[in-house]
Chains A and B, each alone.
Chain A
C-alpha cells in the first residue's frame, strides 16, 4: 500500500538535500570568485583592489548565509 503522506515527505526531503548540495556547490564557486579576484588584484593595481576583494567576501558571506538558512528552515 502506498502512503501518500510519506512519499510526499520523502520528495521534499530529497528536494532539500538537492537544494543543499546545489548551494554547497555555489559556496565552492564563491570561494573561486575570491581566488579569482585575488588573481585580478595581484595582476593589476588600478585602484579598486580593496573594494573588489570586499565585494567578493560579501558575496561569500551571503552564500554562507543562504546555505545556513536553507539548512535550518527547509
Chain B
C-alpha cells in the first residue's frame, strides 16, 4: 500500500519526512501550530545582540497575544553603532586634549577634576543612549501583525502595528557602500492600516525580510 508523503505514519517515514521537508517561512495561526512550535524551537537561538532573529524562542513584547507567534525580530544592523562608538572614543580624548592646550590652567584646584569627571559622565551617557536606542528599537513580524517599537532619545516611546492581512505592498532598498558591504537596507511596507507605511530602517538581509513579508501576502490572499 502506498503512503502519501504528506501523511507519514511509520517512525521511519516521519524521520524521512522531517529530514527533507522544506521549512515553511510562515504557517497560518489557524493550522499547524504544533508544527510551528517545534520548528521555532529548532531555529531559535540566543544571540541577544543579533539584528536578524528568525523564529526567536526567548523574545517577547508587551502587547503580544497568547496565540501570537514571533516569526522575525529585527533591529538595525550592528554597523550602525559605529557612529556613536567613534564619537564616544573621540569624546574620551577630550580632557587630554584640553589639558595639552592648557585649558585647565585657568581654573583653581579641584575644578579640572570635576570638569574631567563630568565630561566622562556625559560621554558615558551618550554611549549608553546610543546603545539602548539601537538595542531597544526593534521590529517584529508575527503571525498576526507587524510591529514597530521605537524609543526616541530615551524619553519618547512609540509602538505602531498593523495586521498582516492589511499589508499591501513590500519593497526594499539597499544602497551605499556600507549597505552593499554588510548587506543591510531599508524595507518599506505599505499597509491599509492607520499607519500607512512601516519603515524597517537599516535592517540586515532586506531581501529576506521582503521575501518573508511577500509570503505573508501570498498566503493571506
Q: A residues bordering B, Cβ < 8 Å?
A: 12, 15, 19, 23, 26, 29-30, 32-33, 36-37, 39-40, 42-48, 52, 55-56, 59, 62-63, 65-66, 69-70, 73-74
13 A-B pairs whose Cβ atoms sit less than 8 Å apart in the complex: A26-B121, A29-B125, A33-B129, A36-B155, A39-B151, A44-B60, A45-B59, A46-B138, A47-B59, A55-B128, A66-B114, A66-B121, A73-B110
Bound state CA distance, A66 and B110, in angstroms? 12
Interface residue? B159 (CB, 8 A): yes
**Cβ-defined partner of A45 (8 Å) among B61, B157, B159:** B61
Smallest Cβ-Cβ distance to A46: which chain B residue: B59
Smallest Cβ-Cβ distance to B49: which chain A residue: A48
CB-CB under 8 A from B154, the residues of chain A are: 32-33, 36
Cβ-defined contact, B128 with A23, below 8 A: no
CB-CB under 8 A from A23, the residues of chain B are: 118
Query: A19-B114, A40-B132, A69-B117 provided; 10 other pairs, C-beta below 8 A?
Result: A33-B129, A37-B132, A43-B61, A43-B62, A43-B136, A44-B138, A47-B46, A63-B121, A66-B114, A70-B114
Bound state CA distance, A42 and B129, in angstroms? 17
**Cβ-defined partner of A62 (8 Å) among B108, B121, B138:** B121
Bound state CA distance, A46 and B157, in angstroms? 17
Q: How far is the CB of B129 from chain A (nearest CB, A)?
A: 8
Smallest Cβ-Cβ distance to A63: which chain B residue: B121
Dominant SS among interface residues on chain B: mixed
Interface residue? B5 (CB, 8 A): no
> Which one of B46, B60, B73 has the greatest number of beta carbons of chain A within 10 Å?
B60
Q: B residues bordering A, Cβ < 8 Å?
A: 46, 48, 58-62, 73, 108, 110-111, 113-114, 117-118, 121, 124-125, 128-129, 132, 135-136, 138, 149, 151, 154-155, 157, 159
A59-B136 contact in complex given A46-B73, A47-B48, A47-B59, C-beta closer than 8 Å: no
CB-CB under 8 A from B155, the residues of chain A are: 32, 36
Cβ-defined contact, B151 with A40, below 8 A: yes
Pick the 10 closest A-B CB pairs, nearest first: A47-B48, A45-B60, A73-B110, A40-B136, A66-B117, A36-B154, A43-B62, A70-B114, A46-B59, A44-B61
CB-CB under 8 A from A47, the residues of chain B are: 46, 48, 58-59
CB-CB under 8 A from A55, the residues of chain B are: 128
Q: How far is the CB of B56 from chain A (nearest CB, A)?
A: 8
CB-CB under 8 A from B46, the residues of chain A are: 47
Bound state CA distance, A52 and B128, in angstroms? 9
Bound state CA distance, A59 and B113, in angstroms? 18
CB-CB under 8 A from A48, the residues of chain B are: 48, 135
Cβ-defined contact, B110 with A74, below 8 A: yes
Cβ-defined contact, A66 with B151, below 8 A: no
